[in-house]
A and B are shown apart, each in its own frame.
Chain A
């Protein structure tokens, strides 16, 4: 059951990611990207990490995908203009891929049939965030608030 689900989700996620990379229309690519995010969230659910999966949908589909879509909407549309092959993009992609591959190969091999652990409840995560990790959490909070205020200052009308 779970391996069948794994393959189903994997196929959908990979297909969506491929579509995001190859579709000619930017909006279509962005929406396939959102589908790929949902696929990754489904993986988290499959692994029993409910909270992470929900946050994945919440943040990436609800916020990041909408942000990407809006960015595309507000920028110039140059669908017709033919561009040459993007060598620098290929170089960056290869560098990222090599870095990830190196990191994966360097880590100790994770056995596929891991010992089943009790799934983390939201309560445990909340308690960990509020006790052991309270300083990182606060720092991120301050950072995000600063970013929010900065964005507001940027778009605020000048008082005349």
Chain B
């Protein structure tokens, strides 16, 4: 019974594929990919709809409001209403815009976001696109987003769009470095770039209650936090949403988009968020493994989506709590703090590994991380005193 529920989707796919047993090889391959893609899109499009509603609900709760509650019970049909609204809106293209680039940018940005979702193991034997260099694929696809953002900014022929795109690209390029370097210790310790191997390496429990997830090692915890912050920046979420800072540059590279194209940008932002959270779950939070041995009865994909949901909630929570950072603060933070800390994680993981992955290594790596952390905070201390601000108006 347990195995049946766990493998129900895998078996269903095998059943459908067995209908095509007599056909040539390539038909089976195409049908298999189409099945995976449609399952992926169905799941994540509904998650997108749910997320857009829950985000508004939770933000409202944080700000002591009610949030959307008019359409359907508890406002549950709000995403459908929003979708219809977006679809029937007029699609405005600026007269002097570069039409081709303006049109292609949202398509490219959504396509790359969806591709990145393909390599994540959603459950036991449930990786839609299992390739050897899966982690590398994720970042290779992610790096194309910058081109798409540039196309949106340039194609709109608008100074706000262009400035927003420049900010977005500068920010993405800077944070791609800590994002990738924090993945490095995990890849080093596991010795594979395959997401399935990384999840498998985190299986097993000490005493049946303490899972061997990488987040429970000092380097893993530090790398997880750094990865999550970089992920926040990469998906342009508050507090790092300077590229679309409403009070400064309207909506950044999305200024000249309306209707469904604007919705596509939103879709890409959320899909990027799902992808980064999914990768964080895979790398640090044990993927689809249950937190304690007894709970392995629950199907693996449920654990994955539970962990994903928790991370997405933290995304919303941070958005509701923190104010927006300034552009120079974002960049300084990346190069002066994130990057050295990410490198320290790599060294700490190496120490942990060569101490035989035991308690001594645990303490040594923790000590190194704390040392670098405090050294950095002393070194970066600017001695700036925060006095009450004096406002000077036009005299």
- Total count of chain A residues near the partner, CB < 8 A: 23
- Total count of chain B residues near the partner, CB < 8 A: 27
- Contact between B144 and A122, CB atoms less than 8 A apart: no
Residues of chain A within 8 A (CB-CB) of B142 are 62
Q: A27-B154, A51-B136, A66-B169 are in contact. Are A57 and B143 (CB under 8 A)?
A: yes
Closest residue of chain B to A121, judged by CB? B132
A1 at the interface (CB under 8 A from B): yes
- Contact between B147 and A50, CB atoms less than 8 A apart: no
Question: DSSP class of B's interface residues: helix, strand, loop or mixed?
Answer: helix
Residues of chain A within 8 A (CB-CB) of B154 are 27, 73
Question: DSSP class of A's interface residues: helix, strand, loop or mixed?
Answer: helix
Residues of chain A within 8 A (CB-CB) of B223 are none
- Contact between B133 and A122, CB atoms less than 8 A apart: yes
- Contact between A61 and B133, CB atoms less than 8 A apart: no
A65 at the interface (CB under 8 A from B): yes
CB distance from B246 to the nearest CB of A (A): 24
Cα A150 to Cα B192 with chains together (Å): 34
- Contact between A58 and B26, CB atoms less than 8 A apart: no
CB distance from B150 to the nearest CB of A (A): 6
Cβ-neighbour of A31 out of B26, B137, B151 (below 8 A): B151
Q: Mark A44-70, 1 if CB is under 8 A from B, else 0.
A: 000000110011011001110110011
Can you name 17 A-B pairs with beta carbons within 8 Å? A27-B101, A27-B154, A28-B100, A31-B147, A34-B147, A51-B133, A51-B136, A57-B143, A58-B140, A58-B143, A62-B143, A65-B147, A66-B147, A66-B169, A66-B173, A73-B154, A123-B191
With A31-B151, A122-B192 already in contact, 11 other A-B pairs whose C-beta atoms are closer than 8 Å: A50-B131, A51-B133, A54-B136, A55-B140, A57-B143, A57-B144, A58-B136, A62-B140, A62-B144, A62-B146, A66-B169
